[in-house]
């Protein structure tokens, strides 16, 4: 059953996917060692606070994250569900994405990149669990 992007049920499914991937020995979707807080604004369930830590995307903010992004819902959905990294770059360049704190951590996360085949698989799984808007 598909879930609303960023809803509690969606985040639970994302956690299950991450746990399954870890059990299968797959690398995490996000680079390990990077901590990042994110506030996604204007979603169907209001603003959502999230974080990335230990390579996993989860709900809530964490005190240890040196960087916080504020991202519009439509941009977050384009980046995470549709895999449209250009949407993120364009939103950043036009000031729609706000960055607070240590910008080098965000740049390190981008520079670490990852396995394109793994990224495509993660994207496919996220699309399968995400309901249309």
Q: What is the pLDDT along the chain (133 residues), one digit of tens a residue?
A: 899 999 999 999 998 988 888 888 887 766 677 889 999 999 998 999 999 887 778 899 999 999 999 999 999 999 989 989 899 899 999 999 999 998 887 776 665 555 667 777 888 999 999 999 8
Inter-axis angle of helices 73-80 and 85-93, nearest 10: 150
> Is residue 108 packed enough to be buried (19+ CB in 10 Å), middle (13-18) or exposed (0-12)?
middle
Q: What is the pLDDT of residue 99?
A: 94
Confidence (pLDDT) at 49: 97
pLDDT reported for residue 17 = 87
**74 and 94 Cβ atoms separated by less than 8 Å:** no
Structure confidence at residue 120 (pLDDT): 78
Beta-sheet pairing, 67-72 with 56-59: unpaired
Q: Are 35 and 61 in contact (CB under 8 A)?
A: no
Give me the pLDDT at residue 43, please: 95
pLDDT reported for residue 105: 72
């Amino acid at each position: 059953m598909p879930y609303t992007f960023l809803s509690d049920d969606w985040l639970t499914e994302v956690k299950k996917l991450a746990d399954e991937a870890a059990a299968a020995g797959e690398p995490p979707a996000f680079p390990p060692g990077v901590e990042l807080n994110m506030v996604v604004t204007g979603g169907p369930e209001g603003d959502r606070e999230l974080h990335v830590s230990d390579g996993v995307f989860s709900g809530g903010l964490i005190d240890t994250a040196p960087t916080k992004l504020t991202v519009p819902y439509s941009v977050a959905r384009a980046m995470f569900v549709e895999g449209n990294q250009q949407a993120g770059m364009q939103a950043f360049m036009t000031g729609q994405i706000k960055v607070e704190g240590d910008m080098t951590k965000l740049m390190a996360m981008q520079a670490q990149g990852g396995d394109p085949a793994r990224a495509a698989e993660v994207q496919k799984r996220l699309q399968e669990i995400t309901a249309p808007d």
